[in-house]
Amino acid sequence: MEYAILFPMEFAKRMFVGESYRGKSLGIIKKLLQRKLLLDTYLVCLAENPVDPLEFFDAKQLKQSYYDDAPLFVCGIAKGEEEAVTVIKNIIEASEESGHETVRSFVEELFT
């Protein structure tokens, strides 16, 4: 079965997934690509500006026209804001353990 991709979204080759979505991430990604409404689902993305490493937001925001053309680089998904913060902490810890100079360079490498 093929899924129509309705807007530009790239997922990291190594995704950070909150506990609530462990084992369910592929289904969540398919729904995101189809632009289905997902309640209480948060995306952790490479920040659009070059200063900040990460940003996160409720996936319901994808319904806004701004996201029709804005490329997103998703490196984490979580259920709820609290779990999204935990995912961000996990990304920062993994970055520190990897020896990367910055969190942003670590996250950028997740997409290569």
- Picking from 106, 46, 101, 40, the residue whose alpha carbon sits closest to that of residue 70 is 46
Q: Say what the pTM is.
A: 0.89
- Residue 77 — very low, low, confident or very high, per pLDDT cuts 50/70/90? very high
Number of Cβ within 10 Å of residue 1's Cβ equals 3
Average pLDDT score, the chain = 90
Domain assignments of the chain as residue spans, ordered by start: 9-109
The strand order across the sheet containing 54-58 reads 9-17, 72-79, 41-46, 54-58
Evaluate whether 17 touches 25 at the Cβ level (below 8 Å). Answer: yes
